[in-house]
Structure 1
């Protein structure tokens, strides 16, 4: 859905607070966290689809996420994907196609 779609057709995230919240662990460890959803966000490399352009776009996306309060998770297992933790510890993945 594009930004010009009628509001009834747009997807919107909803959030709720949990009193017994425990921050997630990374990497995930059974019995050490509550089940939750995380976001996978594809990084657009623009018209160039070279490896260098992809890594540059991924680095820019990571820098933006970090500037908004995220932290880079440890460990990172793939060169085409970065796991960022939001300020509450939720993981989100920035990835290249």
Structure 2
């Protein structure tokens, strides 16, 4: 049996506010809004590739990071490479992100989006030195 064709198209994030979170990530990344419905919204990279989708989760509980056994666990997080970590972090905060209190590395800044999903802005060490 041959392997069927499988193409990665998007990461889907549960949220109580699909449209709002789509707009946050569209502004953060400079991407375009695709679908824009109350229960489903998408953002797409104008240069192509996989995008982000947001589906309604009426019982969304903010994940806790770093967490413990009794906390709502983070299911995943997004990583975004940036060329200027300080400027990118300020941009994210201006859009409604919150900088996490715990920061595990010098070349990464962990943030929470408006619904509490963690994401990281990071700069490649070579880019920072070059």
Same fold, judged at TM 0.5 (above):
yes
The Cα offsets for residues 34-60 of structure 1, whole Å up to 9 and x where unpaired, read as 55332100112xxxxxxxxxxxx1000
Runs of 4+ in 1 over 6 A off after TM superposition: none
Partner in structure 2 of residue 16 of structure 1: 55
* Aligned alpha-carbon RMSD (Å): 1.9
Q: Does 1:3 align with 2:30?
A: no
Secondary structure (helix, strand or coil) at the match of 2:91 reads helix
Aligned residues: 80
Please identify which structure carries the higher strand content. Answer: 2
Partner in structure 1 of residue 117 of structure 2: 90
Deviates more, 1:69-78 or 1:31-40: 31-40
State the structure with bigger RCO (CA 8 A, min sep 6), 1 or 2. Answer: 1
Runs of at least 5 residues in structure 1 that lack an aligned partner in the other structure: 45-56
The Cα offsets for residues 32-90 of structure 1, whole Å up to 9 and x where unpaired, read as 2155332100112xxxxxxxxxxxx1000100000000111011121100001111111
The Cα offsets for residues 14-40 of structure 1, whole Å up to 9 and x where unpaired, read as 111222211010213334215533210
Report the TM-score when normalising by structure 1: 0.71
